[in-house]
Structure 1
Amino acid sequence: MEYAIITLLTLIILFLLIKVSRLERRLKGLQDTLRQQTHQGKFDENPVEEELYRLIREGKDVKAVKKAREAFGFSLIEGKRYIDQLKADRY
């Protein structure tokens, strides 16, 4: 009986992990699409991005990464990549 419960719980956890992973990939894709649309001029720029550009101009990249992570829910690596992309696009 205990083996069946453990097996069932393991399967449920595995199922949930797969779902979360898929949702994270989908969210990242949507964020990338939105960023591309914004930079192509199809939407007004995000006010957060103006603050990020200001921080970048002031040489405060670490604070910019932190702000991006707070605003968009990025991981540390995603935040760093986002700031690097903003720097490449603008400068």
Structure 2
Amino acid sequence: MDSVVTFAPLIVLFFIWMSLSQKADEAKRRQQTILKKLQRIEEHLGLNEVSLEEAALQVELVQLLKEGKMVEAVKRVRESLGLSLLEAKQYVDQLKTEHGL
């Protein structure tokens, strides 16, 4: 009788652990499914592709911003991407924020 009383809490803990483990595995599977769907959506919309030209432009813009040439950076964005003045300014501001400048 004493051995049953001693092992009862261990058995309960084991079943609790199994239940939590199954729920964690299920949550992980759902997360992976959601990530795969998100990747397909990004690919479909072309959101995960940064062209080499745009990457080179961003490097150039960061350099201009480090030199304090904000106006020139906005001008380069307008020329390269064909954005309006407001859109180009917002683009440069976002880049500035991303790089902590």
TM-score grouping bracket, smaller chain normalisation: 0.5 to 0.7
Deviating beyond 2 angstroms after TM superposition, the runs of 4 or more aligned structure 1 residues are 42-45
Could you say which residue in structure 1 is the equivalent of 2:81?
72
CA distance in structure 2 between the aligned counterparts of 1:86 and 1:46, rounded to whole angstroms = 12
Aligned-residue identity in percent? 42
SS of structure 2 residue aligned to 1:74: coil
SS of structure 1 residue aligned to 2:68: coil
CA RMSD of aligned residues (A): 2.3
Calculate the TM-score normalised by the size of structure 1. 0.52
CA distance in structure 2 between the aligned counterparts of 1:37 and 1:87, rounded to whole angstroms = 20
1:1-91 pair list within 5 angstroms: 37=48, 46-91=55-100
Could you say which residue in structure 2 is the equivalent of 1:22?
none
Gaps of 5+ in 1: 1-32
Greater CA deviation, 43-52 or 74-83? 43-52
Deviations 1:43-88 (A, max 9, x none): 7661011000000000000000000010100000000000000000
Gaps of 5+ in 2: 1-44
TM-superposed CA distance for 1:37, in Å, is 3.2
Larger Rg over CA atoms: 2
CA distance in structure 2 between the aligned counterparts of 1:48 and 1:56, rounded to whole angstroms = 12
